[in-house]
Amino acid sequence: MKEIGIASAPGKVILGGEHSVVYGFPALVAAINLRAKVHATLLPDEGIEIIAPDLGIRQIYTYDEAFNVKEISINHATDNIAFAVYQLLEYLMKTGIHDTKRGVSIQVNSEIPISSGLGSSAAVAVASIGAISDLFDQELDKELISKLAFQGEIIAHGTPSGVDNTAAAFGGVMLFEKGNMQWLDQVQELPILICNTKVPRETKRLVSAVRERYKRHENLVGKILDTMGQVVREMMHGFDDKNILGELMEINQGLLASIGVSHETIEKICWIAKSNGALGAKLTGAGGGGCVIILPKDEENAQVIKGKLEKEGYDIFSTSLSIKGLLIGNGE
Ligand code: PMV
């Protein structure tokens, strides 16, 4: 047992294939270098404490409350984390590693904006489970950690695909198709810009709006979704060529707009990025708001685009696609 357990895990972006993935087509998903960091310590008594100083959150759950989180909904921002942490404690109790008398406190510091489609809740869950396993000096395999975090994702999102917790645990760039993941080899840390529209959106509502459009225009929308799948396959093969990748991002954005999930602000950001030299720009995730990803030509071009968007009042940050998933201890 250590005095303190430490871990961090990345957020994610969807490079291509959001929405069409719901219909069984592939999506290309990448972990990003924005991370949630968690410190875990033991409490004197039982329970689960979650502290997020940046969000002004301090929440304490009894084991019963954490276990029954679906019904009680104490705090939307932390319930899913409490549930995932409880799943881990139960596993540690069953395997005789931990007794029930002392609970855990986790302190979360995250660089990932919340509720914007960047997988913040999964990253926090994965990092929390990693930090607690570090506290108890246990090396849990990433598959198990991802599975436990997925339990929290079910609380947060209803029927999640499992992409967020997988990216947070394993990192890298992966093709996600019908529940299976295939990682791309030898991916470099590709620099990208992420611009937050700050327009609130709800994944569930957007997914069901696409379904309605599909019902009304089955033939047309079916072809668009199929084309999105082809775009993703070409993205995967052309991943090393930034010009090709950028162009495919633009094509994907056009297709997403045609199924009704773009937004005036998304279009405006894409337009500013493109007219200032970006190789590609598109919404990422459910759309309707949330974040836009931008592929700049090079570092100099990234600075120009960043300056222009900041001048328009947008929140924009530089990051890169990350090969690193969960990191335990101070290995960041
Ligand atoms: O915005 P996010 O991260 O919730 O992504 C949603 C992606 C969709 O394809 C629209 C839905 C899904 O479950 O894959």
Give the tens place of pLDDT for each residue, 193-227.
Answer: 999 999 998 888 999 999 999 999 999 999 999 99
332 pLDDT above the threshold of 60: no
pLDDT at 72: 66
What spacing in Å lies between the alpha carbon of 189 and ligand 1's midpoint?
23
Give residue 331's pLDDT: 59
Quote the CA–CA distance of 127 and 133 in Å, as a whole number: 10
Q: Is the pLDDT of residue 135 over 70?
A: yes
User: To the nearest whole number, what is the mean pLDDT of the chain?
Assistant: 93
The stretch 77-85 carries a mean pLDDT of 92
Q: What is the pLDDT of residue 323?
A: 82
**Alpha helix ranges (H) inside the chain:** 63-67, 69-72, 79-94, 120-135, 142-157, 163-170, 203-216, 218-237, 242-258, 264-275, 299-311
Span from the CA of 329 to the centroid of ligand 1 (angstroms): 30
**Atom 3 of ligand 1 has which residue's CA nearest to it?**
117
By most ligand atoms within 8 Å of CB, the mutation choice from 12, 14, 121 for ligand 1 is 14
Residue 322: per-residue pLDDT: 81
Would you say residue 175 has pLDDT above 90?
yes
Per-residue pLDDT tens over the stretch 6-15 = 999 999 999 9
Determine the angle formed by the axes of helices 242-258 and 264-275, rounding to 10 degrees.
Answer: 160
The Å distance, Cα 139 to ligand 1 centre, comes to 31
Among protein residues, the one with the nearest Cα to ligand 1's atom 5 is 285
Q: 18: CA distance to ligand 1 center in Å?
A: 6
Among the listed residues 129, 159, 160, the one whose alpha carbon sits nearest the alpha carbon of residue 142: 129
In the chain, what percentage of residues exceed pLDDT 70?
Answer: 99
- pLDDT value of position 266: 98
Residues 197, 200, 202: CA angle, nearest 5 degrees: 125
Residue with tokens 């001048």: 311
Q: Name every protein residue with a CB atom under 6 angstroms from any ligand 1 atom.
A: 18-19, 21-22, 117, 161, 203, 207, 285-286, 290
Structure confidence at residue 243 as a pLDDT band (50, 70, 90)? very high
Question: Among 145-159, 201-215, 234-248, 297-311, which is the least confidently predicted range?
Answer: 145-159
Nearest atom, ligand 1, residue 287 CA: 1
Please determine, for residue 53, whether its predicted confidence score (pLDDT) is greater than 70: yes
Ligand 1 atom with least separation from CA of 206: 10
- pLDDT tier for residue 319 given thresholds of 50, 70 and 90: very high
Q: Give me ligand 1 centre to Cα 208, in Å.
A: 12
Ligand 1 center from residue 290 Cα (angstroms): 11
Of all atoms in ligand 1, which is nearest to the CA of residue 210? Answer: 10
Instruction: Delineate the domains of the chain, giving CATH numbers in brackets.
Output: 5-185 (3.30.230.10), 191-320 (3.30.70.890)
Percent of the chain with pLDDT over 90: 82
Positions marked catalytic: 164
Residue 91 pLDDT exceeds 80: yes
The encoded tokens of residue 186 equal 């030898």
Please give the number of the atom of ligand 1 that sits closest to the Cα of 118: 3
C-alpha span between 198 and 22 (Å, rounded) = 24
- 176 touches 25 (CB < 8 A): no
Q: Of the given ranges (49-53, 81-85, 95-99), which has the lowest mean pLDDT?
A: 95-99
- Measured by CA distance, the residue closest to atom 11 of ligand 1 is 19
Q: Is 158 left (phi over 0), alpha (psi -120 to 50) or beta?
A: left
Mutate to test the pocket of ligand 1, among 18, 176, 283 (most ligand atoms within 8 A of CB): 18
Please give the average per-residue pLDDT across 108-131, as a whole number. 94
The stretch 96-115 carries a mean pLDDT of 91
